[in-house]
Structure 1
């Protein structure tokens, strides 16, 4: 006869454990202490086994029968219910230790050969765009649709390039998760081609008149003085924007008129020396009076321990009315006019641009090669910029 809830509730303990049977191998064991435990008796390969379902009343009669039915289905497959439960429990423990956020942070920390700045960039990208939405999920539950939803949010706010970069980083992270046995496939790979880059507008060099107009606008600019100094220095020194933003005072010797940039801050991971012409030294001395108390020459306003945001100087150019120009155009401007002057060898120009791409320059490379000519080049370029619009510009 099947058991009833009333029978189970009213069952009294005895001096020894006793059993009340239900159906299909289910029974409840009543201990002398009064505790009542659900058990399921079954056979595999002719050997009798008992599976512990749980304690009454936490598990009621209906739930105990449901658990028995699940156990019976496993037994029919030749599986012991207790082993299956341990396997599921182990999987859940692994899942708890393998959330998307934990694996992503582990991957970021595991990357070698990258700068602290790049590591911070990866952390920000995941923290701002992914963790709030899927960070707590087990990494095995993160599917292409969830990733696409996160990346579409970025696209909607105009960060398409950033979304494409993050998609590539996601793929690297999932390949790491595959190697560490947390997932079996890379869901980010399914998103390749989902985002289309807008046509790239290549850098355009300023004409002589445009350089003159730019300098006039700088003189009348009423914005943050640090930004004004930065824009003029970018014209005079034509460093890459990221190299410029990361500038540290400890690398600048104003008395020797040289900016010695460590390899880890350069795109090509090579130490780079920048001769500082007179106007650049004047601007840097003024800048030092503003930010010299900090490590960074151009600290961020919200977090001075980090460099100023990458868009800050481009926005300042926009406010100056320099429509169509970006900070990278300063490099194209210097390169174009230096070559057109005919006064300097190509390898000297390339060395000061920190391109170091052609075989001749690569073979000769060291951070101080062509130093005298580079000092002359930077002095000439400063005169060219300061005298733009004047027919007296030249050697």
Structure 2
């Protein structure tokens, strides 16, 4: 017989434990001391198990039943509370997490079905906005020079350089630890726990990347992290640090983002025609949607990726220095956004300093001719 609030509240303690059943394994245990505790009985691996749900009346009868009878409607109601605030991505992710919990419960005989399956398509799809990325080679050269000239934290400057050279996901880099790097083999092995696809990922290290890492090790504080936070060496820099640095350099969120270095590399590596698309995809740690293509993509393409990453670092160096002597005037080549316009003065007194100005920024720097 189903319980009622009256029975839950008025059942008097006895000299022995009393178990009041509500059906479906839900029980209210009335202790001799008067304490009332909710228990949910279930079987796992052929054995009787108990799950503690809390005490009555802190956990009401209705709440206890909801735990026992979580269904599609209950989950949808909870998800709608998130969705109504415009958090569409969060609602979708929450549905996925709940589904994962239920699938585990099914595998361990704690549940018989996953109620989230019926909710596919029931939520508002989040609008996917591509992260801003620079894919024009000339503009990329300007960005790389801006990174070199960044006057903020040296570790942040190093992180931006490595983002450009290695194009990992920002979270994979900012939480990197020194033990993941093998300098003798020139490889960075990102552990599966930090990878989006939950499998280890190898990144070939170019000579330029090794140089940046070697310099970084001298200033990173001697801890386990490459990029420790300002407040604590045991915690990495925040996920906003790199984007904030780009803003400080004059790049808006519509122009460049830390994650955008991945799109930059993907676009230009594919456009150059030198590398197999699967090698590029493997280096980006992407998973193929096509089953047949995924089977072929199991090959690591390691040797090609090693050559490709060194070529990419060399290419970035070329772009960085390529336009350093471009003279911008009418009738001559115009600089791309954030390119440096150089006015070159000469006199009988010999070489004078060049004045370099960013056309879209009031910042000015002096650099000797030939530097």
Partner of 1:382: 316
1:329 aligns with 2:260: yes
Q: Map of 1:53-202 to 2, 5 A cutoff?
A: 86-88=20-22, 91-93=26-28, 96-97=38-39, 137-138=63-64, 139-140=67-68, 151=79, 154-155=82-83, 159-177=87-105, 188=116, 192-193=120-121, 195-202=123-130
In structure 2, the residue matched to 1:285 is 214
2:19–2:27 CA contact under 8 A, matched in 1: no
Distance 1:98 1:187 in 2: 19
Distance 1:293 1:275, change over 3 A: same
Q: d(CA) in 1 for partners of 2:241 and 2:128?
A: 20
Q: How far 1:287 moved relative to its partner?
A: 2.7
1:269 paired to 2:199: yes
Structure 1 unaligned blocks of 5 or more: 1-52, 59-83, 100-132
Counterpart Cα distance in 2 of 1:364 and 1:190: 33
**Alpha-carbon RMSD:** 4.6
Structure 2 distance, partners of 1:228, 1:96, is 56
SS at match of 1:369: helix
Aligned to 1:298: 227
Measure how far apart 1:165 and its partner are: 0.6
The 8 Å contact of residues 138 and 323 in structure 2, kept in 1 or not, is answered as: yes
Larger RCO: 1 or 2 (CA < 8 Å, sep 6+): 2
Q: With structure 2 as the length reference, what TM-score do the two structures score?
A: 0.57
Larger deviation: 355-364 or 334-343? 355-364
Determine if contact 2:102/2:114 at 8 Å carries over to the other structure.
yes
Aligned to 1:260: 189
For residues 364 and 192 of structure 1, do their structure 2 counterparts lie closer, same or farther at Cα, with a shift above 3 Å needed? closer
CA drift at 1:234:
0.5
Distance 1:161 1:310, change over 3 A: farther
Alignment equivalent of 1:369, drawn from 303, 306, 317: 303
Aligned-residue offset at 1:377: 2.0
Q: Distance in 1 between matches of 2:127 and 2:78?
A: 23
Distance in 1 between residues matched to 2:142 and 2:228, nearest whole Å: 28
| Structure 1 position 347, deviation (Å) | 4.8
Check the 8 A contact 1:236/1:385 in 2, yes or no. no
Which residue does the alignment assign to 1:226?
A: 155
User: How many correspondences in the alignment?
Assistant: 279
Q: Where is the helix percentage greater, Structure 1 or Structure 2?
A: 1
Name the residue aligned to 1:17. Answer: none
| 1:382 match: secondary structure | helix
In structure 1, how many angstroms separate the alpha carbons of the residues matched to 2:257 and 2:145?
17
Describe the SS at the equivalent of 1:200. Answer: coil
Q: Measure, in 1, the Cα distance between the counterparts of 2:183 and 2:123.
A: 46
Counterpart Cα distance in 2 of 1:315 and 1:148: 37
Contact 2:229 2:236 in 1 (8 A): yes
Q: Which has the larger radius of gyration?
A: 1
Where does structure 2 lack aligned partners over 5 or more consecutive residues?
Answer: 1-10, 30-36, 42-58, 327-371
Q: Does 1:207 align with 2:136?
A: yes
Deviates more, 1:159-168 or 1:248-257: 248-257
SS of equivalent to 1:293: coil
Q: Distance in 2 between matches of 1:159 and 1:381?
A: 40
SS at match of 2:267: helix
Equivalent residues of 1:261, 1:271 under 8 A apart:
yes
Q: Counting strand residues as a fraction of each chain, which structure ranks higher?
A: 2
* SS state at 1:340 partner: helix
